[in-house]
Structure 1
Amino acid sequence: MSAAHAVAAAVPAQLYIAGRWQDASDRATFDVIDPASGESLATVASGTVKDALSCVDAAGGAGVLWAATSPRERAEILRRVYESMIDQADELALLITAENGKALADARGEVLYSADFFRWYAEEAVRLRGEIQTAPGGANKIMVLRQPVGVALLVTPWNFPAAMAARKIAPALAAGCTVILKPATETPLTALRLAAIMHDAGVPAGVVNVLPSLDSPAVVSAMLADERVHKLSFTGSTQVGRALLNLANEHIVNCSMELGGNAPFVVFEDADLDAAVEGAVVAKMRNGGEACTAANRFYIADSIAEKFAQRLTAAMSSMTMGPGDHDGVDLGPMVNAKTRDKVAALVDEAVTSGATLHTGGKVPAGPGFFYPPTVLSNVAATADILQTEIFGPVAPIVAFSTENEAIDLANSTEYGLVSYVYTRDLARGLRVSELIQAGMVGINRGLVSDPAAPFGGVKESGLGREGGLEGILAFTESKYIAVDW
């Protein structure tokens, strides 16, 4: 048994409800698959609607006491979670690699990023401020308090199983909310391991509940229909997000949505080409391209497009592909066969439509859900690969001639999560950043995520922000009190 499989085998494979580990009410289970081999990694309890409502009972019952807990006490608990995650970083990284497939270096980076949310919100918990001012007419004072929104349902994806959970749980707990985490069925083990860490750090029973389930639509619907659930925080596809918004609308549930992306990576002719290629590899290949922030469309000034393609090809073709926990591996497998096959179909369609294939582009033989680093140029403007979120290690390159054309191309999508701009001209970089329709922009950087910064998109990439001050405010309601003293 590999070290990664041994760590996975040690994770409690039950539901975590009201501070206790328990089987599903109907004893149902499902297998977690190792993407590197296609074999079963673990068998996990699959929660039912009955179990989901038990989670709501637990979170609702714990809510009053947790909201009344002092900010300092909540902060100290969150700080202990951070310290435990740092102490267990190597094991957590192996666990993420085992069930997600990502290379171990990526998994280690995710663990550190995830832990930082608990550190950041341990600090923010004691700094949640209200407001007070005199009413314009002078009749009274306007006092505004920030109060916890209540029970929060958190639905997270498989691509960052620790980070997406931490980015929601930490601010929710800091604000005084109790939570129910519904992790993706591909990666429930990381969520369960985090539950164990939080339990040991002193998070009271019922404050955090974790419900893996194969029947996601039914359990999520049941919880959203419960009047005690006041918040939904979802990270995932725009398609699923739209359906959840419709469902939440029926019950007037407060929603935060971090949805799909189709990030443009724009390189102007005056850019530092070496830095642009290095940033492109970071923006494209982090997590094997399975990230909503991944660079999806590479718009390169026509005078340097050929050189950029050559250098990016050299960089990506030198990457080592294999099981994520093996030494020297840069790129692990895709999370499942469906994701790999989607990526392969997008590349095949682009090549059939006239794109030039520089490297990769072929599913390798053997077990696992692997797809190689792939670079395409001369991609047709109408190619499907430019219209959809690739979620794989593929870089399609399109040349442009003017700044306005680059901006129009960058904005030619319903998505608006993150964009990347490379130029030595700071004025141009800032000007283009303002005109690009995205919630986040990296100027001469291939990585923008930070727990202290607001993360989120515009258009169909979502509603609200996670991280930074906005992240904790998303789990509060503002109460206005009119008072005259």
Structure 2
Amino acid sequence: MTKADIRFDALQSDLWIGGQWRPAADGARFDVMNPHDETTLASVASATLDDADAALDAAEAAMADWAAKTPRHRSEVLRRAYHLMTERLDDIARLITLENGKAGTDARGEAAYAAEFFRWFAEEAVRVPGHLGRGPASGARILVQHKPAGLAVLVTPWNYPAAMGTRKIAPALAAGCGVIIKPASETPLTMLALMPILEEAGVPPGLVNVLPSRRTGALVDHLLHDPRVRVVSFTGSTGVGRTLLKSAADQVLTPAMELGGNAPLIVFEDADLDTAVEGALLAKMRNLGEACTAANRFYVHEAIHDAFVEAFAARMTGLKVGNGLEEGVDVGPLVNASTRDKVAGFVADALEKGARLVCGGKAPEGKGFHYPPTVLADVPETADCVRDEIFGPVAAIQRFSDEADVIARANDTEYGLVAYVFTADIRRGLRVCEALDYGMVGLNRGLVSDPAAPFGGTKQSGLGREGGTEGMLEFMETQYISTEW
């Protein structure tokens, strides 16, 4: 079987180091579960510290040559990766659904989104900015260029098994860096399955290494204390991000941190109801709500509150729950039992404190970690779901009447990743967007993620940006040369 014939239903389950599949140094493995029926998909190698050292050696050796390649060469490799991944979107989506649970439409959307990062950074690779100027006082020439920062450690979450990896791998390779990626233990299979694509595209052996492991804390800490590592890029919870920042401080690494969110969604009285409902549905239910960008707190003006709740609940009730591999299913299972139980706990807490259940609210019987689309109205400020990230298919709706008040309520959180605003008044919309303390705002849109845009937040939602021009610069160092002629 040739590399081009490799199919994604032939699951790869070993470590990918130096362009080769290999078991963990001590032979340890762990099981990956299908969240729909709780069956075991595969037994995956669990990387050790020795494996981490081998990956560092491989990445260091490969990067020496890769960094010296022309930007055009790196661009063409990334472009081929985009085309090869696009040809296999259905296979990739199927694997995403198997290990993550998300419905087929969501999985195909993620696969296409993930591939797009290779195309975007193929274009950015040849447009690294530079500067030539003259010091006003000294008269010296000022030359500014950007160089590959060094080896990068990439730590990705389970909610987007393909896209969170490609969003980091693509800019790192465009910048000229070698990488070691640690995928989430719940969903390592998709990232492993992407490695034959990168190999076929022309990525040199050792430049990208994948280390699934149940020993995440010790493994990542070990990597971050190796002097060859210069960048750590992490997507995940704020709590884990703080821990990684402490480890990164020991080596003064460049941190790129995309952390938690608590997104407000504001619907003003003049908003087009259909636009607001459909935008809210996308902002809430994309990826089953298991996204840092998911709308968490809904603030709906009292003048249209009842109409919005009725229309939104009707759309939520109409979503079909089931096996994500089946056609017509809109909502697959949550990723694991603890996530489902946490979501159920948020609902129970809100109802106990006075919220009104409009639809959903009860997990079905039987196997799998399913939870129905749920709408809660009249949710009090004391409810846990108002302060914490729900990460599930639950919309917590509150009323408001005053613009200044709703802005203050929306900003009253330690997080600042994304917010959503719906209004027919563009002047008010832009005014409110500027007043919101968030790194991203969707104005009359329920989707903000775009490879061409700088993705990231303020406050406890992270440091740095992914995507856009900024995403590649996270993996580069600025060098200034002073000279005269």
**TM-score relative to the length of structure 1:** 0.98
Aligned to 2:3: none
Cα distance in 2, alignment partners of residues 294 and 203 from structure 1: 34
Match of 2:429 in 1: 429
The aligned counterpart of 2:442 is 442
**What's the offset of the Cα at 1:138?**
3.9
**How far is 1:63 from its partner?**
1.6
Letter of the 1:87 counterpart: E
Deviation, structure 1 residue 353 = 0.5
Shift of 1:11: 2.2
2:9–2:91 Cα contact (<8 Å) kept: no
1:301 aligns with 2:301: yes
Shift of 1:282: 0.3
Q: Which residue of 2 aligns with 1:3?
A: none
Amino acid aligned to 1:60: E
Partner of 1:159: 159
- Give the match for residue 274 of structure 1: 274
Q: Where in structure 1 do 4 or more consecutive aligned residues deviate above 2 Å?
A: 6-9
1:59-138 matched pairs, under 5 angstroms:
59-138=59-138
1:227-283 C-alpha deviation (Å, 9 max, x unpaired)? 001100000000000010011111211100000000000000000011100001000
Q: Give the match for residue 473 of structure 1.
A: 473
Q: Secondary structure in 1 aligned to 2:214?
A: coil
- CA–CA separation in structure 2 for the residues paired with 1:443 and 1:209: 39
Unaligned runs of 5+ in 2: 1-5
How far residue 129 of structure 1 moved from its aligned partner, in angstroms, is: 2.1
1:458 matched to 2:458? yes
Mapped partners of 1:478, 1:169: distance in 2: 20
Deviation at 1:21, TM superposition (A): 0.7
The CA distance in 2 between the partners of 1:56 and 1:255, in whole Å, is 18
SS at match of 1:368: coil
Say whether the 8 Å CA contact 2:111–2:163 is kept in structure 1: yes
On the 8 A contact 1:8/1:98 being kept in 2, the answer is no
Q: Which residue of 1 aligns with 2:147?
A: 147
Cα distance in 1 for residues equivalent to 2:105 and 2:167: 20
In the alignment, the residues of structure 1 paired with residue 73 and residue 192 of structure 2 have an alpha-carbon distance, to the nearest angstrom, of 23
Asked if structure 2 preserves the Cα contact closer than 8 Å seen for 1:48 and 1:213, the reply is: yes
SS at match of 1:297: strand
Contact 1:258 1:463 in 2 (8 A): yes
8 Å CA contact retained: 1:9, 1:42: no
Q: Aligned partners of 1:375, 1:289: CA distance in 2, in Å?
A: 13
- Aligned partner of 2:182 in structure 1 is 182
In structure 2, the partner of 1:12 is 12
SS at match of 1:203: coil
Partners in 1 of 2:457 and 2:369 — Cα distance? 30
SS in structure 2 of the partner of residue 94 of structure 1: helix
Note the aligned Cα RMSD (angstroms). 0.9
Contact 2:96–2:161 (Cα < 8 Å) also in 1: yes
Task: Work out whether residues 415 and 459 of structure 2, in 8 Å CA contact, stay in contact via their aligned partners in 1.
Answer: yes
Matches within 5 A, 1:222-241: 222-241=222-241
Q: 5+ unaligned residues in a row in structure 1: which ranges?
A: 1-5
Amino acid at match of 1:483: T
User: Aligned partners of 1:213, 1:22: CA distance in 2, in Å?
Assistant: 13
- Provide Cα deviations, 1:425-484, integer angstroms capped at 9, x if missing partner: 000000000000100001000001110000000000000000000001111000110010
- Paired-residue identity, %: 58
1:123-168 deviation per Cα after TM superposition (whole angstroms, max 9, x unaligned): 1111112111001114310111100001000000000011100100
Question: Could you tell me whether the CA contact under 8 Å between 1:8 and 1:189 is conserved in 2?
Answer: no
1:106 Cα shift? 0.3
2-structure distance, mates of 1:199, 1:16: 11
